Amino acid sequence: MASSQAANINLFLPVLLHPAADANLASLKPDFAALARSELDHGYRIEFWDEP
């Protein structure tokens, strides 16, 4: 994994997992409704984390 991938994971994953993520993102972009969490297949996938 590249250091830029790790930086993005450390920065954005906690934001996406936070219970107030929808409200926080809506405050930045007024036409934002909600993250489409129900469309994710088995949750978030971090590229190659679960593979050798």
Report yes or no: 35 and 22 within 8 Å, Cβ to Cβ: yes
pLDDT of 23 reads 94
pLDDT of 21 reads 92
Token reading at 41: 């297949």
Residue 48 lies in a domain: no
Residue 26 lies in a domain: yes
Residue 13 lies in a domain: yes
Residue 7 lies in a domain: yes
Tens digits of residue pLDDT in 1-52 = 678 878 888 888 888 888 899 999 999 999 999 988 777 666 666 766 666 5
Q: How many domains does the chain have?
A: 1
pLDDT of 52 reads 58
Residue 44 lies in a domain: no
Threshold 0.85, pTM exceeds: no
pLDDT of 45 reads 66
Tell me the HSE value of 23 on the side-chain side, using a 13 A CA sphere.
3
Range of the domain at 16: 3-39
Residue 25 lies in a domain: yes
Q: What residues have CB less than 8 Å from 47, skipping those under 6 apart? A: 1, 5
